[in-house]
């Protein structure tokens, strides 16, 4: 079946611009996660959604980062006034529900801020 999909696969933007990254989780998965992977680094948790509940934003690095999830499915991660240090691969993952540990990742969006 279809896995987690993300778009765009690559995004190049200028410093100070806003960007939107999209994630479409596996059908039927109610939990959705965003992680950030900086060059040569491990994955850093950003934000978590479970169904229509309020998200866990504890990993967001600054108030320039926000995310929403419409209808309990597709999620958008927005970065306002991008900075060069925001350059990274942004990965989305989903899991079946709150009690399921296994997370399945999408291919990621590579963001480059010039």
- Residue of 36, 48, 75, 79 that binds another protein (CB under 8 A): 48
Q: What angle do CA 17, 71, 88 make, to 5 degrees?
A: 35
Q: Applying CB under 8 A, does 101 fall inside the site for another protein?
A: yes
Q: Applying CB under 8 A, does 56 fall inside the site for another protein?
A: yes
Residue 87 contacts residue 111 (beta carbons within 8 Å): yes
* Count of Cβ atoms closer than 10 Å to residue 93 Cβ: 22
Dihedral of CA atoms 8, 14, 19, 23 in degrees, nearest 10, equals 30
Pattern 71-100, another protein, x by CB under 8 A: --------------------x---------
Q: Site residues (CB under 8 A) for another protein? A: 4, 6, 31, 33, 35, 40-45, 48, 50, 56, 59, 91, 101-108
């Amino acid at each position: 079946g279809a896995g987690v999909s993300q778009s765009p696969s690559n995004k190049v933007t200028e410093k100070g611009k806003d960007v939107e990254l999209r994630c479409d989780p596996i059908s039927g998965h109610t939990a959705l996660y965003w992680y950030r992977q900086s060059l040569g680094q491990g994955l850093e948790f950003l934000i978590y959604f479970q169904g229509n509940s309020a998200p866990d934003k504890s990993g967001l690095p600054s108030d320039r980062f926000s995310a929403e999830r419409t209808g309990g499915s597709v999620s958008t991660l927005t970065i306002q006034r991008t900075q060069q240090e925001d350059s990274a691969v942004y990965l989305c993952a989903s899991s079946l529900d709150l009690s399921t540990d296994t997370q399945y990742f999408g291919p990621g969006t590579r963001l480059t801020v010039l």
